[in-house]
């Protein structure tokens, strides 16, 4: 072993027990990264193969800051890369969305993104480090989809956050981007996709056809964190089979 070799870079993945988060962890580790996996419950994190497992609620400022601090303590430094995969959904028209549901969607999606990104930026600036972050938006923030008002508002806030933060911190060498997935086969969508009739109907909405895998979304997130995307910041990349820009050919 070369004792003078530089240690592997560190990444922090929130929502690591979810479908996309778990795939991001796996891909980063395959590329030689040391990964701190963050989730709200220890039980769900047990199944995630990571270099550190951190239980934290990143929708609270203390939870987000604590996740960064525990990453430093466990892996020896702040994460040069952040993949924020925390999220939830709500499919309901606005007039049928309760105050509790609305606040929960905002907390799980927008609050967690703001507080986690803030904590990461502060840690990077304190060490004068360069790095990259990628957050998760959704196609419903980019094109009107019926009965998605609340989640569209939350994810739209994430996209605005990404653009503004990218502008603020570009000079510090921090790249900040997002992905906007379409319908993805994850535990979150399992109840909707369980029936083959519903899966087929969902897949027909996408020009490329079918329902994408969590791994296909994770591939783009990991690419955005890597050196091959070194000139990309402030962008939201739709991983949606063409859903937001083109219409499927009707046969």
CATH assignment of the domain containing 126: 3.40.50.720
pLDDT averages per 10-residue partition of the chain, 251 residues: 68 96 97 97 95 98 98 97 95 96 97 98 98 97 94 97 98 98 72 67 77 92 97 97 84 67
Cβ(231)–Cβ(132) under 8 Å? no
Query: What pLDDT was estimated at residue 1?
Result: 41
d(CA 250, CA 148): 25
d(CA 22, CA 8): 19
Q: Is 171 contained in some domain?
A: yes
Query: What pLDDT was estimated at residue 209?
Result: 83
Domain count, the chain: 1
Cβ(78)–Cβ(123) under 8 Å? yes
Q: Give Cα separations from 156 to 77, 196, 217 (angstroms).
A: 32, 31, 18
Please classify residue 99 by burial: count the beta carbons closer than 10 Å to its beta carbon, then call 0-12 exposed, 13-18 middle and 19+ buried: exposed
Paired residues of 175 in beta bridges: 132
Domain that holds residue 125: 10-239
d(CA 171, CA 67): 25
Q: Is 2 contained in some domain?
A: no
Q: Is 92 contained in some domain?
A: yes
Q: Is 168 contained in some domain?
A: yes
């Amino acid at each position: 072993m070369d004792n003078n070799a530089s240690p592997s870079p560190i990444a922090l993945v929130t929502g690591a027990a979810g479908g996309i988060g778990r795939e991001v962890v796996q891909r980063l580790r395959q590329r030689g990264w040391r990964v701190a996996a963050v989730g709200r419950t220890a039980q769900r994190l047990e199944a995630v193969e990571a270099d550190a497992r951190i239980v934290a609620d990143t929708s609270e400022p203390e939870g987000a800051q604590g996740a960064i601090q525990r990453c430093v303590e466990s892996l020896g430094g702040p994460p040069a890369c952040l993949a924020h995969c925390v999220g939830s959904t709500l499919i309901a028209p606005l007039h049928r969305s309760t105050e509790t549901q609305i606040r929960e969607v905002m907390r799980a999606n927008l609050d967690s993104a703001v507080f986690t990104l803030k904590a990461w930026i502060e840690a990077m600036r304190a060490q004068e480090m360069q790095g990259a972050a990628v957050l998760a938006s959704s196609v419903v923030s980019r094109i009107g989809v019926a009965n998605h008002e609340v989640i569209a508002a939350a994810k739209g806030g994430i996209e605005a956050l990404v653009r503004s933060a990218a502008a603020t911190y570009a000079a510090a060498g921090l790249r900040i981007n997002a992905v906007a997935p379409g319908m993805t086969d994850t535990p979150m969508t399992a109840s909707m996709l369980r029936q083959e009739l519903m899966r087929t109907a969902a897949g027909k909405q996408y020009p490329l056809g079918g329902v994408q895998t969590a791994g296909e979304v994770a591939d783009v997130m990991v690419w955005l964190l890597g050196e091959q995307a070194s000139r990309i910041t402030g962008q939201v990349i739709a991983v949606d089979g063409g859903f937001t820009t083109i219409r499927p050919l009707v046969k």
